[in-house]
Amino acid sequence: MSYALIKNIHLAFAMLTTIGFCVRGAWMMTESAMLQKKLVKVLPHVVDTILLTSAITLVVMSGQYPWVVAWVGIKIVLLVAYIVLGTFALKRGKTKQIRTVFFAVSIAVLLALFAVAGIKPGF
């Protein structure tokens, strides 16, 4: 597969996971029963697996390893922060207020991740 195709897959699945996270966050805030549906619990893992696989493929194809290219390392740190915050936003937060705060912070971290990906700063 070509680099351009993998990059387009990566971008598409980055948007899918973002939309899915926002929808699940809205359902969390409205206490929707949709969050308990099997597809809602399984589909994000499928999307995120494809997203991560495409990211790793792009890193290998381009040789832009996190210890060589700073912005790739920053994306990984932001991704880990987003994942941890997201788990507190959608299920680990004790109250809806706490989950909502974690959801907002997760979105901010996600936007920072997108900014780093778009700007590719040369720290």
The rounded distance, in Å, linking the Cα atoms of 78 and 45 is 18
Note whether 17 and 52 are within 8 A (CB).
no
Q: How many domains in the chain?
A: 1
Q: Model-level pTM? A: 0.91
Query: Which pair of tokens denotes residue 89?
Result: 């936003």
Structural domain that includes position 104: 3-119
Contact 40, 34 (CB under 8 A): yes
As a whole number, mean pLDDT of residues 65-74 equals 90
Could you give the CA distance from residue 62 to residue 60 in angstroms, rounded to a whole number? 6
pLDDT digits (tens, 9 = 90+) for 29-64: 999 999 999 999 999 999 999 999 999 999 999 999
In this structure, of 32-46, 49-63, 78-92, 109-123, the range with the lowest mean pLDDT score is 109-123
